[in-house]
Amino acid sequence: MINDLKDFSNPKKYNSLPSIKDQDIDVLKNMLSTMLLIRKTEQQLALGRKDGLIGGPVHLGVGQEAIAVGISLNLKKTDRVFGAHRSHSHLLALNPDIYKLFAEVLGKKTGFSKGMGGSMHLFDQSNGFFGSTPIVAGTVPLAVGAAMASKMQNLKDIAVSYIGDGSVEEGVVHESFNLAKVSKAPVLFVIENNLFASHMHISLRQPSDMISRFAVANHIPYKLLDGNDVISIAQNSKEIIDSIRNDKEPAILEVVTYRWYGHVDWREDIDVGVSRSIEDIKNWKARDPIQRLSKSMINSKIWTKDEENELINKIDMKIKNDWEKAMSDPYPSKESILNFVYSED
Amino acid sequence: MKTKKYDYGTAILSAFEYLLKNYKETFVIGQGLWSPWYVGNSMTDLDKKFGKNRVIDTPVSESATTGAAVGASLTGMKPIVVHPRMDFMLYAMDAIVNQAAKWSHMFGGQAHPGVTIRGIINRGGEQGAQHSQALHAWFAHVPGLRVVMPSTVADARDLLIASVLCKDPVIYIDDRWLYEQEADLAPIKEINLKIQKPQITLEGKDLTIIASGYSSFLVRNASAKLKNLNIYPEIIDVRILNPLNIESIVKSVKKTKKFLVVDPGWISSGFSAELIAKVVENLDINCLKCPPARIALPDAPAPTSRVLEKEYYTSEEDIISATKNLVKE
C-alpha cells in the first residue's frame, strides 16, 4: 500500500494543540462540551453492553467525536444527514438528546426510532437526521437523492453522507460520486478514515490509504484534514458547506482519525485486528481531539481544569439520570411488529 | 361517459403525463428516458413535455439511481424509477430491499419512502436468460414493499397513478407482451392502492383460474376457446401481489371447488405456491373436488433460440389442457 496520507495517519504527528486564536469562546466551550457528552455517552453504552444490559451490537466512535461536532456547527435543521452503522456522534452532534439515544439502544418505546431501530437504525428527521442504517454504503445514494430533491424543491438545504474508509470498497459509492457530480447534487460526503474496516487495516484492503483519490477521479472538490482537530474541521467544513449550498455541487471531506474501541462493542480488538496494537491505541489516545482542545483553551486562559471537572460532573450526572430513566421505560407494544410495516393513512 | 382508446403502452404514458402535470413533486428517473425506445410507446416525449429536470436520464447506475429515488422520496418527492429490463434492477436490491422496504418499520413508522419502482419484464425475441426474468415473487416476499402487476390497459394506467400517490414503496411490474392490448378508458379517476384487491375478470362455475400479469392475459384469451368447449372458468386477476388480499379468491374457490394457478415466473418457491398455500389454509380442504394445479415456468433460465423459447413459455394451449384435466376430475 502507498501511504498517500503521509503524516495524517501517523499518530505521533498532528498532535499539537489546535490554534484557537480569534475563536468565539462560547462556540469553543460548546464544542468541548458536546464532544465530552458524546464521549461519555458512548462509554456508558460500552459499559451497558459489557454488563449485558444492551441486547444488540453497539459500534462506538470514541476518539472520533471532533468530526460530527465540527461539521454540525455549519448545518441547519433542514439539512439532510444520513449515517451508517457508527452514527451515534452524527446524531448527537445535531441533537444532544442522550436520553432518547439510551432509550433507543435499549429498545424502548421512548427512543429516537420508537424502540424499533436500536443503535444501528437511528432517526431524528426534525433535527436533520434522516436516518442511519448499517449496510455499508447503503445510505450513500439516498443522500445523493435527497440532495437532488433539494435542488428540485428550490431549497438551499444540502445533504450529508457520513461514510468510512471501508465504504469505498462498495461499488455503489462510486456510482453515487459519479451521479452526484453529473447531476450537480449539493451533497457533502464525509469520509471518516479511521484506517480500519471491522478488523482489517486499510493496507490489506486498498492500494492507497487516501480515499480522496476518488474525489480526483470524479472531479469533485475535496479537502483532507486531521480528523482529531475540531477547530480545523469546523472552519474548513464551513467553507465547503457554504460552497455546496451556493454552487450546488458535491464535495468530499476526508478526515483521518482512529477509533479507540474495536469494530463493535467495548473491546479494544488488539487480538483480532491486523496492525492494531496497544502501542497504536496509546499513541492515538495522545492525539485525542478532546484533550487537545481542552489544553489549548486552558493554555489561553479561557478555560480551567476546575471548570472542566465541573462540566464532567454535570455530564456524569445527566448520563446517570437519563440512563436510569431509559432503563425503566416501556418496550414497544407487540402490535408494533406489524403496525409499522406500511404507512397507516 | 366519454371514453378514449388506449393501448397498454399509451395507458402508461397517460399515467405519467397525469402525474407530472398534477403533482409537482413527481419526477421520473432511469436509463434511456431521453430516448425511450427501450420502453415501447410508454414514455414517448415526456422529457420534451415536462423538462429534463423532471424526466432524468441517468448514468448506467441502477443502484445509485434507485437509491437516489428512495432518498428523494424521504424529502417529500414522489419519484418513479424506471428499469427498462427487470434483470438490471437486481443491481438495486440493497436500495429496494434493505432500505426502502425497511425504512418505515425500523424507524417506528416515522417516515415512509413513497417511491415507485417500475420494472419491465421484457422476454422473448431470443434475448435469453438475462433479458427476460419475471421476479415478482422475490419482491412479493419482502414485507414493506407493495407489489403491483397490472394485466389490463385500465390497470396499467390507474395502478401506476395509485402506486405513485401511495406513501409506501411500490414495485410496479409491467410486461412488454401486454403492450398490444387495446381498450376504451374513461377519464382518469384516482384510486387508493391500499384498498385494491384481486379482481374477478370473468365469472364462471367450473373452476377458478388465478393469474397475474401476462398469465392473466393468456388466461383471458384461453377463456374464449374454453367457452366453445362448454367450460366456464371463473378468472381472477391478482393485480396486487403484496400485501395479498386472499378473501375474494377463497370465496371463488369455495364456489367452484376446483382451482388452477397460472404464474409468469418459475415454479419452485414461486408465487403460485403462495397462492395455493393461502387458499388451502383458508378453506375446508374437503370442499375441494380435486387437488389444485399450477402452471408456471420450468425451473430453468430462459433459453435463447426461438424453438426452445416456444417450448419454455406458457401458452394458451397449456392453460386449456390443464383446465380440461381439472374439469374432468
Distance CA B95, CA A262 (A): 28
pLDDT band at A220 (very low <50, low <70, confident <90, very high): very high
Instruction: Count CB-CB contacts under 10 A for residue A19.
Output: 12
For residue B146, give the chain A residue with the closest CA. A342
CA–CA min distance B111, chain A (Å): 8
Best of A82, A175, A337 to disrupt the B interface by mutation (most B CBs within 10 Å)? A175
- Contact at 8 Å (CB) between B73 and A343? no
- The pLDDT, as a whole number, for residue B329 is 83
Q: Which residues pair with B26 in a beta bridge?
A: B78
Rg (alpha carbons) of chain B, rounded to whole number: 20
B64-119 pLDDT tens trace: 999 999 999 999 999 999 999 999 999 999 999 999 999 999 999 999 999 999 99
Instruction: Count CB-CB contacts under 10 A for residue B246.
Output: 20
CA–CA min distance A122, chain B (Å): 7
Distance CA B137, CA B168 (A): 18
Q: Residue A325: CA atoms inside 13 Å, Cβ hemisphere, count?
A: 14
> Could B104 and A332 be called an inter-chain contact, meaning their C-beta atoms sit closer than 8 Å?
no
Please report, for chain B, how many H helices and E strands are present, in that order: 12, 14
Nearest neighbour of B64 by CB, restricted to A116, A135, A141? A141
What DSSP assignment string belongs to A249-289? --EEEEEE---SS-SSSS---TTT-TT--HHHHHHHHTT-H
CA–CA min distance B317, chain A (Å): 40
Residues of B with Cβ-Cβ distance to A340 under 8 angstroms: 104-105, 108-109
> Could B107 and A176 be called an inter-chain contact, meaning their C-beta atoms sit closer than 8 Å?
no
> Could A343 and B108 be called an inter-chain contact, meaning their C-beta atoms sit closer than 8 Å?
no
Handedness of CA A295, A299, A303, A304 (dihedral sign): positive
Q: Which residues pair with B6 in a beta bridge?
A: B183
Does the structure show a pLDDT above 90 at A269? Answer: no
Nearest neighbour of A80 by CB, restricted to B27, B75, B144? B75
Q: What angle do CA A82, A84, B93 make, to 5 degrees?
A: 90
Backbone φ and ψ for A213, nearest 5 degrees, come out as -60, -25
Distance CA A125, CA A139 (A): 15
Query: Across chain B, where does the E strand assignment appear?
Result: 4-7, 26-30, 55-57, 78-83, 116-121, 146-148, 170-175, 182-185, 199-202, 207-211, 233-237, 240-242, 259-266, 293-297
- The pLDDT, as a whole number, for residue B38 is 87
Domain contains A102: yes
Residues of B with Cβ-Cβ distance to A336 under 8 angstroms: 108
> Could A138 and B144 be called an inter-chain contact, meaning their C-beta atoms sit closer than 8 Å?
no
How large is the average pLDDT for residues A205-219? 98
> Could A138 and B74 be called an inter-chain contact, meaning their C-beta atoms sit closer than 8 Å?
no
- Contact at 8 Å (CB) between A78 and A155? yes
> Could A125 and B70 be called an inter-chain contact, meaning their C-beta atoms sit closer than 8 Å?
no
Domain contains A35: no
- Contact at 8 Å (CB) between B120 and B175? yes
CA–CA min distance B128, chain A (Å): 26
Best of B110, B112, B167, B240 to disrupt the A interface by mutation (most A CBs within 10 Å)? B110
Residues of A with Cβ-Cβ distance to B56 under 8 angstroms: 183
Distance CA A220, CA A244 (A): 11
And the C-alpha cell for B89?
Answer: 434492477
ipTM for the predicted complex comes to: 0.98
Domain contains A1: no
Of A75, A193, A63, nearest to A124 (Cα)? A75
Q: Residue A114: CA atoms inside 13 Å, Cβ hemisphere, count?
A: 17
In chain B, which stretches have pLDDT less than 50? Answer: none
For residue A153, give the chain B residue with the closest CA. B25
Count how many domains chain A has. Answer: 1
Cis status, amide bond into B59, omega within 30 of 0: no
How large is the average pLDDT for residues A119-123? 98
And the C-alpha cell for B202?
Answer: 370473468
Domain contains A131: yes
Domain contains A335: no
- Contact at 8 Å (CB) between B159 and B197? no
Domain contains A29: no
A279-338 pLDDT tens trace: 999 999 999 999 999 999 999 999 999 999 999 999 999 999 999 999 999 999 999 999
The single residue listed with the C-alpha cell 396486487 is: B240
Does the structure show a pLDDT above 80 at A76? Answer: yes
> Could B65 and A141 be called an inter-chain contact, meaning their C-beta atoms sit closer than 8 Å?
yes
> Could B95 and A138 be called an inter-chain contact, meaning their C-beta atoms sit closer than 8 Å?
yes
Distance CA A303, CA A8 (A): 28
Element (H, E) at A18: none
Nearest neighbour of B61 by CB, restricted to A123, A159, A175? A175
Q: Which residues pair with A252 in a beta bridge?
A: A189, A222
Handedness of CA A299, A301, A303, A304 (dihedral sign): positive
Instruction: Count CB-CB contacts under 10 A for residue A304.
Output: 11
- Contact at 8 Å (CB) between A223 and A195? no
Q: Where are the domains of chain B?
A: 4-193, 199-328
Residues in CB range of B284: below 8 A, 6 or more apart: none
Instruction: Count CB-CB contacts under 10 A for residue A48.
Output: 20
Fold of B199-328: Rossmann fold (3.40.50)
How large is the average pLDDT for residues A212-220? 98
Rounded to a whole number of angstroms, the distance between the first and last alpha carbons of chain B is 45
Does the structure show a pLDDT above 80 at A275? Answer: no
Nearest neighbour of A149 by CB, restricted to B75, B98, B102? B75
Nearest neighbour of A341 by CB, restricted to B63, B114, B144? B144
> Could A178 and B64 be called an inter-chain contact, meaning their C-beta atoms sit closer than 8 Å?
yes
- CATH classification of the domain holding A177: 3.40.50.970
- Strands ordered across the beta sheet of B116-121: B55-57, B26-30, B78-83, B116-121, B170-175, B146-148, B240-242
Fold of B4-193: Rossmann fold (3.40.50)
Distance CA B114, CA B130 (A): 29
Nearest neighbour of B108 by CB, restricted to A116, A141, A149? A116
Of A149, A225, A157, A221, nearest to A191 (Cα)? A225
Domain contains A339: no
Query: In Å, how far from its chain's centre is CA B270?
Result: 14
What DSSP assignment string belongs to B109-136? TS-----EEEEEE---TT--TTS----H
Q: Domain range for residue A237? A: 6-15+44-330
Does the structure show a pLDDT above 90 at A272? Answer: no
What is the residue type of A91? L
Distance CA A140, CA A188 (A): 10
What DSSP assignment string belongs to B153-219? HHHHHHHHHHHHHSSS-EEEEEEGGGTT-EEEEPPP----GGG---EEEE--SSEEEEE-HHHHHHH
A77-106 pLDDT tens trace: 999 999 999 999 999 999 999 999 999 999
- The reply to whether B199-328 shares the fold of B4-193 is yes
Distance CA A248, CA A14 (A): 32
- The pLDDT, as a whole number, for residue A268 is 87
